A = this chain, B = another copy of it.
Amino acid sequence: MASSTINRDRLLKRHALMATFGDTGRGGVIRPALSAEETQARRAILDIARERGFACSVDPIGNLFIRRSGIKNHSAPLRIGSHLDSQIPGGNYDGVYGVLAAFEVLETLADQSVSSIRPVEVVIWNNEEGARFAPTTMGSAVHAGALSLADALNSRDGEDLRLEDELARRLNDLGSLTQIPLGTESFGYIEAHIEQGPLLESADTPIGVVTGIQGIIQFNVTVIGEEAHAGTTPRSRRKDALAAALALIDEIRTLTNDTEDEIRFTIGRLTVAPGAPNTVPSKVVFTIDLRHPDEERLGSLHVRISESCKNFVSPCEITAVTTLNSPPVKFDCNVMAAIEKHADQSGIKHMKIASGATHDAKFMAGLCPTGMIFIPCRDGISHNEREWAEFEHMACGADLLMRVVKQLCMSD
């Protein structure tokens, strides 16, 4: 591996600092979007940025932009970043790693007095997790015009607090920020992130060159049967909603048992009513979460599962509703090629990988050439206080990001 030219000690120090904001004392953080703790984390980064002379601005949905000027300062900036909000609780790597890697790049460029043609901006997206305010990836979705600002501002948390009010309140604590509009032009966007899955670790590979974000289709399936006495009702007379649901699930699962193990098929929620041990269930509702990086394959599975639900022979009534249909996103070939080239030049082992989780990069991919760099996380665990990444991999990813940025910011 080539010797790193980022400041590893500083990256480690910043990582330790961020972990103090919302520290649960069990290895993780509780730092939902627009909480006091997330605001402290944002403020800490902004304070350092201001000390270093970077310009700080905010857009109407609360995304932060930290700019190091370029020679042609009116050109569209090359953007890099991620988010600082966490799941409840979450770990110390998801999101925050990408922000710190990006910020380390900015500081390194300044340390080395690199005269970039284009400005480089660190973006700290607002509310990526959606753990407090729905939906997820809100900041980037609004920035890209995929979600209306009004809808986002009207989102309410579990205590019925409006996002708009919480945003105004928290912005007061962030110091002076230049207001910029939504959807300002980007020259490109690159996000570093932990994989949140086990593939890089299994392959003993420190860098994933992300090819895109797999598509997601979600269904709600409702099975209506008839409540009956468990002791007196013969099988032939039952309309057992759970028995029907399980047989249907079995059929659908068979459709998704691909030998390549690329289809992600999950039933994460299943409820049974009335739920008494001695009563035949009258109603079952379950979710299906289906993901695949290939649009055609995903579409064909969508059709086959819908047909399975529609044609399933049962004494019960079955209804399947598609609740989410988000097609796969492919990242830019040139960005991928740049990442691969610099990894090769640094002698870093890398592999192509599709992102199983969604990221702010998904919406940026519609606006500008976009890419992501993954690093491994232990046992693929994420959204969990046990989330953990090796510092060597964090430094390696940040260094690679720096090299790619150094190349791309020189484009005219």
Contacts and interface: CB of A to CB of B under 8 A. Distances in A.
B261 A268 contact: no
A325 interface: no
Contacts of A268: 230, 242, 272, 275-281
A308 interface: no
Contacts of A214: 231
A216 to B, nearest CB: 7
Interface stretch (A159-167, A179-187, A378-386): A378-386
Nearest to A247: B250
A264 interface: yes
A271 B227 CA distance: 18
Interface residues of A, number: 58
B265 A289 contact: no
Contacts of A175: none
Nearest to A198: B237
Nearest to A240: B266
Contacts of A234: 197-199, 261-262, 264
Given A197-B233, A250-B250, A277-B287, 6 more contacts: A218-B277, A229-B356, A230-B266, A231-B291, A231-B356, A278-B289
* Across the A-B interface, the 6 shortest Cβ-Cβ residue pairs: A197-B232, A232-B356, A231-B356, A230-B266, A277-B287, A268-B277
Interface of A: 195-199, 214, 216, 218, 227-237, 240, 242-243, 246, 249-250, 253, 257, 261-272, 275-281, 287, 289, 291, 355-358, 380-384
30 contacts: A196-B229, A196-B232, A197-B232, A197-B234, A214-B231, A218-B277, A228-B381, A229-B356, A229-B383, A230-B264, A231-B291, A231-B355, A231-B358, A232-B355, A232-B356, A233-B380, A234-B264, A235-B257, A236-B261, A237-B380, A246-B246, A246-B249, A250-B250, A266-B277, A267-B281, A268-B276, A268-B277, A268-B279, A268-B280, A270-B270
